[in-house]
């Protein structure tokens, strides 16, 4: 039964996502690396003489895991949001989904797997570029532990993007949702500074943010091989909730 679900539903959606993301790959690569590399040059090189070592490492090394995570999460969100939006409003895929023997969860899982593969590929590309730019040696021996955070994080951001792409009709609404919700989460999650920099009264709230779990927890795993079970639980639970909500919402849209 699972094999049939994969063959009829998950794999075709996965293949569609990969094909859409690899068409015009030069533009895709340039747009992917532009933001993290610009941040790295502006914050890492621009501030390295003004900021002491953080968490026992140079500032440029400190921000590297966060910029790799940033790439993965933004790509996952973009794949989910624009993939579902294009499928619904531009390519008119809703009617095709209604008549095919494919479940809503298969569609979302296919989007997640395709989005994660492309996000991971682009994240690793950014990691390689930052490694070449950095004047400091960065070890990648804990990359497997780092990905333990990135997979549920990718599920979460793909599903949130899928909900946005399902709900909103206008493309500018997708951009606005990213500016209002996603961008603040990215900057509050300790991408450029340790969470301990927040006042004591704010740290309790910030530590429950999924981006804090991904940036701070991912940094601990990437640099030191340490896993924070609390962070993993936060992002895993939110990933599961987002999957259930995205599936329910998409199923509701199909029923209309």
pLDDT of residue 187: 81
Tokens representing 105 are 């969860």
pLDDT of residue 100: 59
Residue of 39, 43, 38 lying closest to 54 (CA atoms): 43
pLDDT of residue 168: 77
pLDDT of residue 86: 63
pLDDT of residue 48: 63
Q: Judge whether 68 and 6 are in contact, CB under 8 Å.
A: no
pLDDT of residue 17: 74
pLDDT, averaged per 10 consecutive residues of the chain (256 residues), comes to 57 76 74 82 70 75 89 87 64 54 74 84 87 74 89 91 80 78 82 82 84 92 90 94 88 68
pLDDT of residue 5: 53
Q: Judge whether 190 and 144 are in contact, CB under 8 Å.
A: no
Q: Is the pTM of this model over 0.85?
A: no
């Amino acid at each position: 039964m699972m094999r049939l679900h994969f063959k009829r539903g998950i794999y075709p959606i996965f293949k569609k996502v990969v094909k859409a993301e690899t068409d015009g790959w030069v533009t895709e690569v340039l747009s992917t690396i532009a933001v993290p590399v610009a941040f790295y040059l502006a914050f890492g090189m621009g501030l390295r003489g003004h900021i002491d070592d953080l968490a026992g490492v140079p500032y440029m090394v400190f921000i590297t895991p966060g910029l790799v995570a940033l790439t993965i999460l933004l790509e996952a969100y973009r794949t989910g949001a624009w993939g579902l939006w294009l499928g619904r409003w531009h390519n008119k895929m809703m009617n095709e989904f209604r008549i095919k023997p494919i479940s809503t969860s298969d569609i979302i899982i296919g989007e997640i797997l395709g989005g994660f593969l492309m996000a991971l590929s682009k994240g690793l590309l950014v990691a390689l570029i930052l490694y070449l730019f950095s004047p400091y040696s960065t070890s990648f021996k804990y990359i497997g532990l780092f990905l333990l955070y990135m997979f549920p994080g990718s599920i979460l951001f793909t599903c949130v993007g899928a909900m946005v792409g399902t709900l909103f009709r206008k493309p500018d609404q997708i951009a606005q949702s990213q500016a209002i919700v996603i961008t603040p989460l990215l900057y509050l999650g300790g991408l450029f500074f340790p969470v301990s920099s927040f006042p004591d009264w704010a740290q309790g709230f910030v530590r429950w943010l999924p981006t804090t779990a991904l940036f701070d927890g991912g940094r601990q795993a990437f640099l030191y091989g340490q896993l924070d079970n609390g962070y993993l639980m936060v992002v895993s639970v939110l990933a599961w909730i987002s999957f259930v909500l995205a599936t329910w919402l998409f199923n509701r849209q199909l029923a209309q």
